[in-house]
Amino acid sequence: MRTALITGIAGQDGSYLAEFLLGKGYAVHGIVRPGREQPPPRVAHLHDQVTLHAADLGDVDALTAALGLVRPGEVYNLAAQSSVGLSWQQPLITVQANAVSVTCLLEAIRRVDPTIRFFQASSTEMFGRMKHSGRREPMLAGPCNPYGAAKLFGHYITVNYRESFGLFACSGILSSHESPRRGVEFVTRKITDAVARIHYGLASELRLGNLHARRDWGFAGDFVEAMWLTLQQSEADDYLIATGQYHTVEEFVTAAFGRVGLDWQNYVVVDPALVRPAETGLLPVDGSKAMRQLGWFPRVGFRELVAMMVDADVRAHERDDPGPVFRAA
């Protein structure tokens, strides 16, 4: 039986990846923070199928011990401080989680077993305000927030360990990917959760910042397949994982409110205080290399994704409302 170790198994991506790998017949292990050994909510339904290990991702010795115990063939590093907005409030924590911990994990792999295959979850936020698209790797990246800067370090330290020590270490440069498991601190889930509450009369408005920001939004459940495919190749490499389709926040809002038959303009308030100090530009989303070499293609489209998220939040808030529940046509 093949064995995989996932950091960040408690998160959106980690939970989908755990399900995916179990479906492939893997023995799945996850790293959680010390003191949080109970199955996290997103993987509680897998409590009897995954094994959790407590370790501080900033402690090389603890990670070395965990790797020595599990002896995985594949390690997926999905643990991160993943909120761009929060990275402005907590830059030091962001650097520790998104840069230093990557180095600690790579060093632990080098000590325990250099044949372990390693996947690093990088981000298109590393590109920052590059004005031209089509780049498959951020060779001249210009991140414009602490999250992107820390991710850039994590990306290049992965390249360094691959080139210097011969590790099978890969980065997936991921565009934005969402799901009903996304935290409400992210704009997409903030929108769908608010839509559900407004639908039931539990809220009257939704405050947002820049409605014109454009992103490539995909489904997290699709993206984890690309992560796995990255580690199945004969040679280690980096891939930009994206759907290739841009949409604005306003388009997301329109689709989300439309799912429950509401006009978003009656409920959305643009709040200048919610605009980021430096807004990322039009991020490059050329995922053709991954599609060509990995044979990976997204299955869930933009409108399907929005509908999936709205429907999940409508169901979640059903218990808060005694009236009729929205049923999608």
Query: What amino acid positions are annotated as catalytic residues?
Result: 123, 125, 147
The structure tokens 């099978």 sit at 168
Quote the CA–CA distance of 137 and 170 in Å, as a whole number: 12
Quote the CA–CA distance of 251 and 146 in Å, as a whole number: 27
* Contact assessment for residue 276 and residue 88, using Cβ atoms and an 8 Å cutoff: yes
Specify the amino acid at residue 7: T
* Contact assessment for residue 311 and residue 178, using Cβ atoms and an 8 Å cutoff: no
Task: Rounding to the nearest 10 degrees, give the CA dihedral for residues 32, 34, 35, 40.
Answer: -10
Neighbours of 65 (CB within 10 A): 15
Which token pair is 42? 């997103």
Name the maximum alpha-carbon separation found in the chain: 62
The structure tokens 């841009």 sit at 246
C-alpha atoms less than 13 angstroms from C-alpha of 138 in its C-beta half-sphere: 31
Q: Read out DSSP for 242-253? A: --S--EEHHHHH
Specify the amino acid at residue 212: H
* Contact assessment for residue 306 and residue 192, using Cβ atoms and an 8 Å cutoff: yes
* Contact assessment for residue 84 and residue 147, using Cβ atoms and an 8 Å cutoff: yes
Considering only CA atoms, which of 263, 238, 240, 243 is closest in space to residue 253? 263
